[in-house]
A and B are shown apart, each in its own frame.
Chain A
Amino acid sequence: MRNSRDQRRPPSRRHPDRRLVAAMMLFYFSAFLLIALKGELRWQGFALAVAVPALIYIATLWLPRFFPADKLLLAIANFLCALGVLVLYSTDLDAGTSRGLQQAIYYSFGIVAMLICILLVRYVRHWKFLIQIIMVGAAGLLVLPLAIGTEQNGATNWIHFAGTSVQPSELVKIALLLILSYYMSRRQFWVWLLFALFCLGVLMLQKDLGTALIYYATTLFLFYASTGNLPLTGVGLLGGAGAAVLGYEMFAHVKKRVAVWQNPWLYYETSGYQIAQMLMAIASGGLFGVGLGLGAPRVIPVYFTDCIFAVICEQFGIVFGILVLVMYGILIVRGTSIATSARHSFYALLAMGATVMLGIQTFVIIGGVLKLIPLTGVTMPFVSYGGTSLISCMGLIGLLQGVASLNQDDLEYDYEISHSLGEELRLPRADRD
C-alpha cells in the first residue's frame, strides 16, 4: 500500500531552507574573507571563512538528515552564532586577542551541546530517575562558585578548572527547564517551587542579579502557562517586585545601576562610562553602520559580552540591529509553534520554557544596551563571547529541536495510521495528556 518514500513524508521534511542557508554561508564566507584581506593577509580570517560556513552547513543541513528538525529555527540560531564569531573576530583586528577563533571553537561545542540535548529529549523515555539526578547535580553545580568561585564584575559566578572557566548558572538553565516542566506537567507543585527558590537564593548570594531575573521570569511565566492561575501569578509578580525593591535598598551597586541608567552622562567618569560609550557607539553607527571591522568598538568596556549589541549597531547600523531583534522574534514565534504542537504537556512546557528564557534574556540585555531598562550583566544569546553561554543557548535550541522532532514523529505516526486506514490525510491534534 505504501507509496514512494518521498510522498510519504509530510512536506516539512524536505529542504525549503537550502537557499536561505546557502545565502547565510555566502554572507559569512565573504565577510570573513573581507577581514582576512584587509591590510595584511590574516590566516585566521581565511580559516574562519571556511570553518564558519562549514559549521553552519553541518548544523543546519547535515544534522537534520538524521532526525526531523525545525530548520528555520536552526538557521536563525546558527546565523546568530556565526554573527557572534564575525563581530568578535572583527574586534580582534590589531588588538592581539583571538576571541573570534575561540568563539568559533565554542560554536562547535555549542553544536555538540545542541545534539546532546536533541538526543536527550528524543530518546529518553523514563525521566523520573534522570530528573532526580539532574536536580542534585544542578544544585551542586550552582553552589560550587560560592565555595571555589572567583568574583568577576561584582558577581561570584565563575569557577575555574583545568585552564578553563565555567559559569555554572548558564548550564543550570537547561536543568532548570527540565525540572520545571517535568514537575509542572505532573503538578508536583512543591518540588519545582523549592528548586526554583533554591536557585534564586543561590544566585542572590552570588550577586548574579541578571541571571536571577531570567530564572525568576522564566519560572513565573511557566507557572502561569501551566496552571493559568492568575492570582498566584500575581502573588509571584508582587514577590518579585518586592525583592527588586529590597535589592534596590540593600545593594549599593543596584542603586548605582539605576542612577546610571537614568542619566549615564552624569556619572561618565565612573559607573556611567559603559552606557555612555555604548550610546556613542550606537549613534556613531547611524542607520547603516560604519562598516565591518571599522569603528572603535574596543573603547566600550566588555564590548565582547554584555555590550556586543552596541558593537553590532556601530558596525552594521541600527537597522541591522533591529533586524537582529526581528530574528530573535522569529525564533520565539517558531519556539511557540513547537510548544503548541507538542502532544504531551512536559514537552510543551519544555519548549515554551526554552523559548521564554531566550526571549527574556534577549530583552534584558538589548533593553539594557539601548538604555530602556537598567543594564544587568547577562549575555546576548548566541552572540556574546563565552563558551558556557553559547553552549547553554545552543542546548536550549537542542531542547526545542528535540521536541520538534517528536512532534514530527507524532505527525508521521498519525499520517501512517490514517493512510493505512485509507482515510484522507488529517492532522489531528489529539491530546495525550
Chain B
Amino acid sequence: MKQLRTRFRLLTLFVIGLLLVAGLYGVYSVTIYGSRWFSNSKNTRYQNAKSSVIAGDIMDRNGVVLATTDAEGDRVYQSNLNARSAIVHLIGDRDGNVANGVDSFEANYLLGFETSLSERVAALLKGETRRGDDITLTADSKLCTRIVSDFENGSKTKGKSGAAVVMNYKTGEVLALVSLPVFDPQNITADDQQNPLHPFWNRALQSTLAPGSTFKIITASSALENVPGISTYLFTCTGATQVLDQTIHDYKMAQHGSLTLEKAFTVSCNNAFAQCALKLGDAALRKTAEDFGFNDNFLFRDFVVENSVYPTTNRNLVEIAWSGAGQSQIGATPLHMCMVAAAIANDGVMMEPRLLARVQSPAGVVRLRYSQKVYRTAVPANIAAIVQGYMKNVVTSGTGTAAQVSGLTIAGKTGSAEASVNNEAVTHAWFVGYIADDSLPYACAVLVESGDSGGGVAAPIAGDIFQYLKDTYGK
C-alpha cells in the first residue's frame, strides 16, 4: 500500500502539472496575442459595442482628422476622396475589409474598452453616451496622398500594385504606410471586391516577397562582419557564375569584370554577391539575416506584420548563392525592408516601428504618449558605417541615381527581385534608402510589383518622398 500511495502522489503531480501548463499557456497567450485576437476584423464584439459607445477620432501628426463618427454612429473619413483612399490601409474601412487597420486594431481605445470604472460611472451619472478615446498617429496623411498620386501618375507604375513605407529611423515613428491599389473606404464597389490585385490587402505589412538586391545590404554586412579582408578582395564577374548545374546571371545579363565588394554593391552585381554568399555559407548569412529580424515573430505594439523568412532547411549551393542576392525563398515585407535600411542609417540599431503618437480620453486623460523602443541591434556601428558609404555610392553613381534630391545626401539600394506570379516570371522593383542627415532622419522602402527595374521604377518614387520630406520638415 505504501508504494501505491507514492504512485498516487506521482500521478497527481503529473495531472496537476498538466493543469498548470494549461493555465500558464492561457495567461501567456492572452498577454502576448490577446490584443491581436481581440482586434481581429472577424471579431463581432467591438462592432456590437459601437451601438453603446461613440468611437473616438483618429488624427494624423498635423491634426488632420482622418476618421470620426457621425450622428448615426457611422465612421466618416476625410472628405477628399484621394486623401481618404490613400490612408485606407492604415486606418481601415467601414466594412472591415482591411485587416488590422487602426480603426479595428486599436478598438480597445477607440471604443473605450480602456476606460476606468470611475470614468464609466461619471459618464453614466451625466447621462451621456460614452465616447471612446481619440488617437493621434505619427503618420502624415499628406505624404500618403502624395505617394499614392506618384504611383497612380507615374507612367511605369500606373495600375500596378505596390507599397511604400516611410519611417523616422531614430525614433521609429511611421510617417507613411501605403499599399496600392487603394480604394474608397466609404464606398466599396464590386470592382474593388473583384479586382485581381486585391485592394483590401495591406501589402506593406502582409505580403512577404523576395527582397532581391535590397537584401545585399544584409549580405554585405554579413561579409564585412565574418570574412576578413573582404573589403579589398577582388571578385570576378563574367556575367555568369557556374554553381553546380546552374548559372548565376546578372540583371540584363551585365558583365562587371573584376570588382571590389564596394563596387559590386554600387552596381548590384549578382555574381559577386553569389560568390560572397558561398564564402559566408548558409549559417553565417542566416545569422546576420536573423540579427536583422528575419525569422523572428514580429509582435510590434502598433502593427501586425507578417514574419520575414530566411529558410532554415538544408539548402544546396545554388540556393545559397542566390540568397546573397535576396532570392530563393527569402521573403520580407516592405515595412521590414524599410526597417533594414533604417537600421543601417541609425548605426546598426533597429527601432520598433510605431504609429500611435498619443491616445487621449474625451475628458483629457492621456492614456498613451509616444515612446520609442529599440527593437534590436542589427549590426555593429562600424560595419553599419561602411555599408552607409556603400549605400551613398548607389545613389550618387550606381543603380539608384533616380532617387537623388538636390541638397540632400541620399543613401539607398535598389532591387529587382525575380518572382513568379500565376506561373509567370515577373520582376518586382524595390528601393530602400534614407536621408543621411541628422535633422531629417527618414528612411523609406518602395515596392512596385511587376515593376521591373528597381532603379528605374521604384527609386524615382523614393526620390519624390525625400523631396517632400525636405520641403515639409527641412529647415
Q: Hey, which bits of chain A sit against chain B, CB under 8 A?
A: 221, 224-226, 228, 265, 268, 276, 279-284, 286, 295-296, 299, 313, 318, 321-322, 325-326, 328-329, 332-333, 336, 339-340, 345, 348, 352, 355-356, 359-360, 362-363, 366-367, 370-372, 431, 433
Contacts and interface: CB of A to CB of B under 8 A. Distances in A.
Nearest to B21: A372
Given A332-B15, A345-B1, A359-B19, A340 B8 contact: yes
Given A224-B7, A228-B7, A356-B11, 19 more contacts: A224-B11, A225-B8, A283-B34, A283-B35, A283-B38, A296-B48, A313-B26, A326-B23, A332-B12, A339-B8, A348-B1, A348-B4, A355-B15, A359-B12, A360-B18, A362-B19, A366-B26, A431-B1, A433-B1
Contacts of B252: none
B315 interface: no
Contact of B42 (A225, A280, A359, A363): A280
B37 A282 contact: yes
Interface in B179-206: none
Nearest to B13: A336
A67 to B, nearest CB: 23
Interface of B: 1-5, 7-9, 11-12, 15-16, 18-23, 25-27, 29-30, 33-38, 40, 42-45, 48, 113
A144 to B, nearest CB: 31
B17 to A, nearest CB: 10
The listed residue with most A CB atoms (<10 A of its CB), out of B9, B21, B33, B34, is B34
B45 A295 contact: yes
A279 B37 contact: yes
Contacts, number: 121
Contacts of B11: 221, 224-225, 336, 352, 356
A279 to B, nearest CB: 5
A318 B29 CA distance: 11
Chain A at the B interface: mostly helix, strand, loop or mixed? helix
Contact of B38 (A221, A280, A352, A360): A280
A366 B3 CA distance: 31
A339 B9 CA distance: 10
B208 to A, nearest CB: 16
A367 B22 contact: yes
The 4 closest A-B pairs by CB, nearest first: A283-B37, A359-B15, A283-B38, A336-B12
A367 B18 contact: yes
Contacts of B29: 370-371
B34 A366 contact: no
B8 A348 contact: yes
A284 B47 CA distance: 12
B8 A336 contact: yes
A363 B16 CA distance: 9
Nearest to B17: A363
B9 A340 contact: yes
A332 B22 contact: no
A373 B34 CA distance: 18
Contacts of A329: 16, 19-20
A336 B22 contact: no
B4 A284 contact: no
Contact of A325 (B23, B42, B44, B45): B23
Contacts of B20: 329
B38 A363 contact: no
A326 B27 CA distance: 13
Contacts of B5: 339-340, 348
A366 B27 contact: no
A282 B30 contact: yes
Contacts of B9: 336, 340
